[in-house]
Amino acid sequence: MQPNPVNSSDKHSLLVPEGCLQETITSVKHYTDRLFSFRTTRSPTLRFQSGEFVMIGLPGGSKPIFRAYSITSPTWDEELEFYSIKVPDGPLTSKLQKIQIGDSLLIRKKSSGTVVLSTLTPGRNLYMLSTGTGIAPFASLARDPETYTRFKRVVLTHTCRQKAELEYGYHVIESVHTDPLVGEEAKSKLSHVATTTQEDSAVSGRITNLVQSKKLFSILNCPEFNPEDDRVMICGSMALIKDLKTILSNLGFKEGSHREPGTFVVERAFVD
Ligand code: A2P
């Protein structure tokens, strides 16, 4: 790692590792004692596709710790937004959860990820299935006009243990509906299904159970999953990915990649 000096007039003047940008925190919102989101400035050189992640870290110390975070803000936004869990003894999140406006954040310039529109073959309906902080890449995709150009119907499902953990998803949907670029289209095309597993709410149950019992499709008033019409993106824990992969593979869906687009794609929710 080759340290580069940054502008010495910056009050956070520190060494920025090569390939990194130093951004400034512009807002922080705590949703529960386990979940928060934050926004940062965005250098014009940071480009990404909706659904991708970047490596982020905190400056200071000889070797900053970096973790992968999906960018939740849309590609055209002049700031960046991230959604994070707080792990009390987590190497990064134990410190990250204390960040405040004006603090610095290191972001590696190179973005990557699989839950992007180009890894799916054309289809009619897009399902974005998430648990916990796995909603993050879909928050960006739900605000991308291309999502609505490619698909006639878009469904975002978000499953958490408790009702309070669903709040960020409601906030995302509200910001999609009031978005000048996609708001009107999203009101007719985007459905949001929020479910809980350890507390009663309007819809209770794991997404795997809701798919297998067909309850998801009766809520949406649409046909069951089929690989001709439906494309599926998954982001959550390893266990969720494994179970949904089995369900989809049994229905004839094929996993996509950058090399070979398919009818479903997966991304792990990174920090845990
Ligand atoms: P559950 O409460 O039944 O375990 P976590 O916070 O552990 O990452 O879980 C987030 C959500 O994902 C919880 O609602 C949890 O349900 C659900 N979940 C965990 N594992 C699976 C799985 N294998 N299939 C479907 N949902 C899962």
- Give 189-207 as a 3 state SS string: HEEEEEEECCCCCCCECCH
Query: What is the DSSP annotation of 102-168?
Result: T-EEEEES--B-S-SGGGB---SEEEEEEEGGGGHHHHHHTT-HHHHHH-SEEEEEEEESSGGGGHH
- The predicted pLDDT at position 14 comes to 58
pLDDT digits (tens, 9 = 90+) for 39-56: 999 999 999 999 999 999
160 CB near ligand 1 (under 6 Å):
yes
At 271, is the pLDDT very low, low, confident or very high (cuts 50, 70, 90)?
A: low
The confidence score (pLDDT) of residue 270 equals 80
For residues 193-216, give the mean pLDDT: 98
On the question of pLDDT at 86 being above 60, the answer is yes
Distance 109 CA to ligand 1 centre (A): 32
Which of 206, 207, 248 most suits a substitution to test ligand 1, by most atoms within 8 Å of the C-beta? 206
What is the band of 22 on the pLDDT scale with cuts at 50, 70, 90? very high
pLDDT-above-70 percentage for the chain: 94
Distance 240 CA to ligand 1 centre (A): 7
Lowest-pLDDT range of 7-11, 88-92, 136-140, 233-237 = 7-11
Q: How many A from CA of 131 to the centre of ligand 1?
A: 7
Residue-level pLDDT at 4:
47
- What is the percentage of the chain residues whose pLDDT exceeds 90? 89
User: Residue 272's pLDDT band (boundaries 50, 70, 90)?
Assistant: low
Residue 87, helix vs strand vs coil = coil
Q: Does ligand 1 lie within 6 Å of residue 245's CB atom?
A: no
Q: Do 204 and 196 touch, CB atoms closer than 8 A?
A: yes
Give the distance (Å) from ligand 1 centre to CA of residue 208. Answer: 9
Q: Which atom of ligand 1 lies nearest, measured to the CA of 195?
A: 14
Is the CB of residue 161 below 6 angstroms from any atom belonging to ligand 1?
Answer: yes
Structural domains in the chain, sorted by start: 4-108 (2.40.30.10), 117-267 (3.40.50.80)
pLDDT tier, 61 (very low <50, low <70, confident <90, very high otherwise) = confident
Q: Is the pLDDT of residue 125 over 70?
A: yes
The residue whose CB lies within 8 Å of the most ligand 1 atoms, and thus the one to mutate among 160, 161, 200, is 161
Q: Considering only CA atoms, which residue is closest to atom 19 of ligand 1?
A: 240
Residue 3, pLDDT above cutoff 70? no
**171 Cα: distance to centroid of ligand 1 (angstroms):** 21
Q: Whose CA is nearest to atom 5 of ligand 1?
A: 132
| 67 in contact with ligand 1, CB cutoff 6 A | no
Q: What is the mean pLDDT of the chain?
A: 94
pLDDT score of 10 more than 80 = no
Residue 92 Cα to ligand 1 middle (Å): 23
Tell whether ligand 1 has an atom less than 6 A from the beta carbon of residue 206. yes
Kindly give the distance from the C-alpha atom of residue 132 to the centroid of ligand 1, in angstroms, as a whole number. Answer: 8
Give the closest residue to 4 by CA, choosing from 19, 18, 20: 18
**Alpha-carbon gap, residue 171 to 30, rounded angstroms:** 12
pLDDT at 7 over 60: no
When pLDDT is cut at 50, 70 and 90, the band that residue 6 belongs to is very low
Residue carrying the six token digits 């597993």: 197
